[in-house]
Structure 1
Amino acid sequence: MIKKDTFADLLNALDFIQDGEIYTKNINGHEMKVDFANQKLIYPQGVTTIRKTTLNFSQNENFVVFECIHNLLQSGYKPEHITLEPEMTGGRESTSFYCDILLKDNNGAEYLLIECKTTDNKDSEFEKAWKRMQKDGGQLFNYFNSYRKAQYLCLYTADFSEGKIEQSYHLVSMKDNEKYLESDDKLRSYQSVRDESGSKSDFFQVWKQTYQLDSTEHNLFESAPFDIGTRPFSINDLKELDNNGIQKKYHQFATIMRQHNVSGRENAFDKLVNLFLAKIKDESENPNALKVYWRGAAQDNYFDLQDRLQELYKKGMDEFLDEEITHITNDEIEDAFVLFKNKTDETKKTILEKFKQIKYYTSNDFAFLDVHNHTLFFKNGAILKEVVQMLQDIRLKTDNSGENQFLGDLFEGFLDQGVKQSEGQFFTPLPIVRFLVSSLPLEHIISNSESVPQMIDYACGAGHFLNEYAKQIRPFIQKYKNTDTAPYYQAIYGIEKEYRLSKVAKVSAFMYGQDGINIIYGDGLTEHDDIKKGTFSVLVANPPYSVKGFLETLSEEERNAFALYQSVDKTDTFNSIETFFIERAAQLLTPGGVAAIILPSSVLSNGGIYIKTREILLQHFDIVAIAEFGSGTFGKTNTNTATLFLRRKADTPNLSIHYKNRVNYWFNNDHSTDSLFEDGHLLAQYCQDCDIDETDYHAFIFNKRLPENGIFADYRAEYQKSNDWKAHQKMRAFQRKSADEQQQEFEIAAFKFASDIERDKLHYYLLASANPQPVLLIKSPANNKAAKTFLGYEWSTRKGNEGIKYIGSTEIGDEDNPNRNQGIFKINTPLFNPNDLSDTGKINHLICQNFQTASNNFPTTIPEKLRPYASLNLLNKMLDFSRISFDKAIQTSLTEKVEIISKYPLIRLKDLASIIRGVTYSKNEQAQKITNKIILPADNITLDGHLNISKEIYLDENKELDDEKRLKKDDIFICFSSGSEKHVGKLCLITQDTNYFAGGFMGILRSNKEVLASYLFNVLNLDNMRNKVRQLSNGNNIKNLSSSIGELKVPLPPKNIQEQIVIECQKIDQEYETSRMEIETYRTKIAKIFSDLEVLAETQSDKTRGGG
């Protein structure tokens, strides 16, 4: 509000000259003056003043009147045109009252009535007066009743805040729009009210019913005198948005939607995006006469407005997204009738009317409502007009190349509300976007690139990664290149297959002042003219996953561009689209290019085509870091994810081919080039890491025959029972051979079977060993509350307040407040510092540092406070080479490897016991009453290794159960699968036959004659053996043992030692039961028994026995 204590500052801003207490300004030869000593407002000679009340400092409204008169004189009006406080009947009490300003034309006829009001953020008389005016006409329609020749009414205010003058007004035309009136003969005109000598209320009803309370907010001062509204609206009239402007526009849009009962937010946002696109095109094509502008009811109509917008939208879609939009102008229809000589031809008239109905009375690119008739067209027109008025004074295309943060924030606010989390697969939360992009070595890339590096997101959605990348490289361009950012923005590419989102992404780029960003509407897996293989230095993406039948949308040529396609059986049901996006990344990135790709965690461990995918990863990429996020990261998308931070390997020389050749040399007993390549030690290192005797391994290769011990014995056994060998045995030619010949064939075939697997293992071992840096593993906490703190946000499902909530920022309950999106700057997360992305104490800095470890020979160091989330692991330790089957699963467990040390042989568990899986059953097979078919789940085993019946599940009596799965004396009952790592592998010894059956997530270890059941139980229940079991478990949500438990190696002493251990353990058990022995003491004594007999060396983890 302009007040007495700020009035002098306002005058200074208006370029008044101060002389003591007197402020003066000469305007076109007319002097305005303010006398602060006497608190007088002095107007130029010629201004008619009916009363003295506006000539002093008595009320703040007088300052608004003074500022308005100043603007009228500046615009070219003369003092004799202006009357202050003309008397009239009307006003608030329908008695004699005075309007603030009456403007008369050169002939003395009334032209414009102005009522001035004060305004501020807390109490705006201006807003109150506007609401009254919209309700019943207010004071201005009362004044108009006395001056019916006036062509315009104006409700005006001005504010002065933070050194800036802000004017606001609503200009109402009292002139009729004849073209508009012709569109509906039911519309009443102002002229008809004049002709009928109607009342003030009648004029108000025309304004309300015919012209839908129309007003304009421009050209009061900009137009030539007495020519309001005719001056073209140009780009110079536009204003760049500030933070206050964001809030006003955001609230304005929400208010328009509420007032007109527009409930479809997604559709409303889509139409808003179309308007932004049209306006962007308008500012570049029509800077001197903008078309995204409501010219006022006197000179504009909804038909023309829609035509202007549609034409701009058509051009914008063609220019920015290379999409053709069909739009036929009225002139084109008229031209179609050029041969019709009779201008009154009824056929032409009828066709034009039908064309009008088809064109306007149907839904279109600017239909906030579902339009399908004349009435709905006008209802939608009223909404469209108001939204256009909301946007028309904003400047979208700025002159500077810097970021238009306020526009970006405004658009982000619209986006947040316009596309809800039901479509969350398209959007990555902003904290994750910022974390991923800031984790890449962008400063290094910009500073060391001789040419402009290219960046791509091949599934860009709303364009978040693109805009964040552009934002983050800007300071590096300024620091190292001292050049315009435009070429760098033009090297950014986004591909989006969803039509609407491709528009969103393009508009978003403009809104952030980064309009050089390229958006391609198309499939990220196909070729595009502007997307060249091997040319991108940066790739950041959150590609879709699990899309059934996506290959059906690609041509055969496009499918064959992927090596993975050869592993697909049925294109109509295949859904692992994320695997193809991984291969696409390998195609697009240049050698040394970096990537951050969000993927389902299953990519790291699943079988089938995922194995081929991991081969592509290991062959073509250095793995720099893996960040695993839990199910709460992406809102309703409850998938655990792993973000892979990668660096593209060089293709020349191709390291994968090189190592494959080296392995073939070794398997051909050729070590002649070991010294040349300095890699002979890697074979020895492989044997050591895989617990294989190096001499045996060399014998295996040299003799081309499998040794009888270790993993080679496992290969023998595995091939012996393979389908290939069984089929071979059935062949007549084989059966005719002698036993020795058959054995010889077996040895040859078994060697080939084993050597093929070993060649593969050794190949990928060498590749993994060549990873230039340890892999930085980032893990989100398992605890739900801790995970939210780790992310810095959580998701709300509370009705009316759904969406992301930033932890640490003040709760802003109003969903129509754009500052809801500013909370990201308040979060406190170990991932990154939102106010300093180079903060060395955050995880993003660790990843960025790890990218550069290989080049600067400076190892990554993890600060103490980040160690709960981060660890460094060698890639060759993250692949399991110990099993016969080699699936290249990348293990991300942070548990250190547990080494079993014993003076006795280590025997695989599957060679000591039968491994029996529990009963599987459906919910329909469960009984609601007690039956004889009783299943025991994991709840019945305590963490310290005892059977404690607490939960029984009854199955229908008709359910057939395999007696092998019944728990019998000397069975070891074990948990094979659990969502909790501490529960998987817990076990107990069954001491007598029972009628219970093992449950589906459970199993039975039934020992053979080589081992005593009690000994096997006691050794498996030691803490370091339990840790070893946990290492064997796999899976992300559910830890599974059933496929790997048999590979566990157990020390097997002679029977007499086993018996001695059982007796000693029984003594300790009895002492524990009958005394007050502490549990730690008990566990230490048990571990000592094994240690003293050298069965199992006591390590630090042996100090406890049992599950915790």
Structure 2
Amino acid sequence: MAQRFTQFCREREQTKLFYYLLAAHNPTPVLLVKGPSDNKAQQQFLGYEWSGAKGSEGIRYIGGESVHDINTPLFDPKDRSNASKISHVIRQAFAGEALQIPSELQAYVTQAPLTELLEFGRVEFDAVLSLAVKTKTSALSSRWPMQQIETLLVPVNGAKTKIEESQIVAQGRLPVITQSSNEFITGYVDGVEPITDLPLVVFGDHTCAFKFVDFPFVRGADGTQILKTDGSIIREKYFYYFASSIKIENADRYERHFKYLKKQKIPLPPLNIQQQIVAECEAVDQAVDVAKVNIEQARQSVVRSLEDASKSSQHDKLTHIAQRVSDSIDPQQHTGPVNYFGLENIESQTGKKIGNTASTYGAIKSTKTSLKAGDVLYGKLRPNLNKVHLATEDGICSTDIYVLRFANAALANIFVHYLRSKPFNDAVLQTVSGQQLPRTSWTAMGQIPVPVFTAAQQTALLGQVDAANQTITAAQATITTAPAQKQAILQKYL
């Protein structure tokens, strides 16, 4: 009986092992495209809907009369190389290029190792690929010995200085590192003893943010943990890269997370392998740094072009150039999905869309403002944050946002940059009232003089804006895909 049982196990497990080795030998993550489950959202995703209306039965395209006008994130019928469409990402995957997944597509497009798409845990193995990626938290595996993080940590020698938020200033001798996930250095402080046992990792106990620090600093007192590892076993920067890849339990909840992190296990390859991982991950980080520089240079080139054109232009009141849209909508009178923009969805200074704007009317309680693709959204609350965004799809927005509509798409594309410029923002700040919740008003803001660009100027500026946007899109894709690239490096070696 024992012999028959052994034979039974061998027959099944050798098949699993064969497929696992084949899958593990494939270093390229699998590209997964998954549409939404909600019917209305599916229609927007596919770009068409089925009509049963008498006389117009069949497919009705969203965006026009034929497939050549279709509006879908899947593809652009007029431009097959459109980098904002899923088809472009698929082409990159087939060509073996580094994937550049735009932020607006990440709800539909993901990557996963092939081994995570096969089910090896059941007795019967059918070699069927599953699109439901199995997440792994504590059950990590590696070809190398694994050890709990808490056993690898050593005491930090010397000062472990913490300071309160009230002590942080804009300029000073010593940088202050907090658990903020939005910035590396929060501010500065003078007159305290810095932490000098370097390098080490700062971990945000609440935010789960990781920061590798190799210069003297002071830490904020708001839940920062300083982690120093035993250098004879593990390189500090390898620890940083691996720890940054860990999916920490309850990371989306407000609680202390170090108790979860320290129980995680980390593979311990030889130090030379650790250094190779660090070198390749650093190359990804360097590409990100270059991308950030390219984004800033592209934005500054537009600013300079606008400043030059403005000097030679006549000026008129903003209210004569842009129409403020005041179409109110009561979400409770509607059903289904809706694209909702709050101030939190517009990144300060850059205007980039952040977070998820997909919502439903039922989840929104108070009156909002209707908007259309091509409108410029201007944050009137705390305008010093300079939140200005060009909408790319219809929807609704918070009443703390002005919806501005221009005569044509060219002006909207130009003015979204001009309204974000320092001269215009300075002028808006002169119109602000309110201490606790400072706001501008359309009555005052609409009176600000703005340039009236000639047709020739519009054409020239639009060309420069388009070139800058292409640079920014490509650079942003480099930034967006960096975590997946570093994850692939870890998987390759571990």
* TM-score under structure 2 length normalisation: 0.30
* TM-score under structure 1 length normalisation: 0.14
**Structure with the larger helix share:** 1
Structure 1 or 2, whichever has the larger Rg, is: 1
Higher relative contact order (CA 8 A, sep 6+): 2
